[in-house]
Amino acid sequence: MEQHEHIAELKRLLLFLGATALILAISYVVPAAEELRPWLPGEDLPLAHLLESGAEVREGEQGELRVVETAVIPQAQAATAAPGDLRAERMPKRAPGIATLLELEEGVLDPFFEALAAVEDGEPGRIVRILHWGDSTIAGDGITGTVRARMQARFGDGGPGFLSVHFDPRWSYRPGIARWPKGDWETLSITFAGAPTARYGLAGTVSTAPLDCESCTSSVGGRKIDDAWQKLHRFDLFFQAQPEGGTLSAVPKGHRGRVFKTAAKNTYDRFKEFTVEDGATWMWFKAHGDGPVTVYGIAGET
C-alpha cells in the first residue's frame, strides 16, 4: 500500500474517532439524548478495570476457570497455589458445564398447551400470557422478538403484554412499541439496584417521579402495524403505594381516565385495571408533583 493510501486510511480513522467523540459528547449536553450515554455517574468507568488489574483467567485441569492475580502471585507460584488460596482463585470452584436435555415431569406443561389449543380453537376471551426471563442475550429483544412474532402469527396477537414505564436501552430494548416518557423520572433496575425497597416490578425496572415533578408523564402502548398503532382493550397500570405518595392520573388515549392517590401507611404493590371497549392506542399517565409517584409499567392486551 502506498504512503498516500496509509495517510488516507489514518485520516478516515481519525475522522471516525472524532465523530464518535462528538456524538458521545452531544449525548451529555442534550437532555433528549440521555438514553444514548455510554456512561452514567455512579458506574465504573468503561474499560478502566483493564488498566487496574493484572489478572489472568486460566483453565484448570477439570475445565474450571480460575482468575490469577499475576501482579500478586508470580506465574511459577500460581500453578502450585493451594486450592483455597483466594489470591489464586477469585471465582467459585465448580465442575465443568455439561450440556443436558431439559427434563420435565410428565404432564407438567399440559395446562400451557391446553391453553394454547383453546386459543387456536377460537375460545372467546382466552389469552395466554408468557413470561421470558434471561440475561443479555435477550436484552435487544432478538430471541424474544422472534419467538413472540412466531407465536402471535399462529395463535393471534394478544397485545404487547407488560411494558415498563422507562428503561435503560443498554440493557433492555423493545423496538416498535409506543413508549414516550417525559420529565425527570428516576429509573432504577434490579441489575444495579439502589431502590429504597427490594421492589422492582415484573420487568425488574422501577421508575419514580420525585416530589414537585409535574412534568413527569409517560405514554405506553402497543406496536405499530402498517403505519397504524395497535388498539388495546385492556390496560393494567402497576404502581407502588407508599408513605406520602403523590397523586397519579391515568388516561387511555381518547377516553375518560382516573385520578387516584398513591399514599399508604406501608409500601406495597398495587394495580388499576382499565377496560376500553372500542380500544385505545396507548395509556397516558402523569404525576401531579404533590409527592413521589412510583410506577412499574402497564400490561396492554387486545
> Model confidence at 76, in pLDDT bands (50, 70, 90)?
very low
Q: Which range, of 15-24, 32-41, 139-148, 215-224, averages the lowest pLDDT?
A: 32-41
Together in a domain, 210 and 70: no
Residue 256 lies in a domain: yes
Together in a domain, 168 and 219: yes
> Model confidence at 297, in pLDDT bands (50, 70, 90)?
very high
Residues 89, 53: Cα–Cα separation, whole Å: 15
Together in a domain, 215 and 288: yes
Together in a domain, 204 and 270: yes
The answer to whether the pTM exceeds 0.85 is no
Q: What is the pLDDT of residue 269?
A: 95
Higher pLDDT, 158 or 44: 158
Contact 265, 279 (CB under 8 A): no
Residue 115 lies in a domain: no
Q: 242 is written with which cell numbers?
A: 407508599
Together in a domain, 136 and 184: yes
Residue 77 structural domain: 47-93
Residue 135 lies in a domain: yes
pLDDT surpasses 50 at 91 = yes
Q: Describe the crossing of helices 142-155 and 110-120 by its angle, rounded to 10 degrees.
A: 50
Higher pLDDT, 5 or 301: 301
> pLDDT tens, 147-164?
999 999 999 999 999 999
Q: What is the pLDDT of residue 239?
A: 96
Contacts of residue 216, defined as CB under 8 A and 6 or more positions apart, other chains included, come to 182, 183, 184, 185, 209, 210, 286, 287, 289, 293
Q: What is the pLDDT of residue 66?
A: 63
Residue 107 lies in a domain: no
Together in a domain, 158 and 297: yes
Q: 301 is written with which cell numbers?
A: 392486551
Q: How many domains does the chain have?
A: 3
Question: Could you tell me the CATH number of the domain that includes residue 232?
Answer: 2.60.120.1360
Together in a domain, 170 and 284: yes
Together in a domain, 66 and 21: no
Together in a domain, 219 and 153: yes
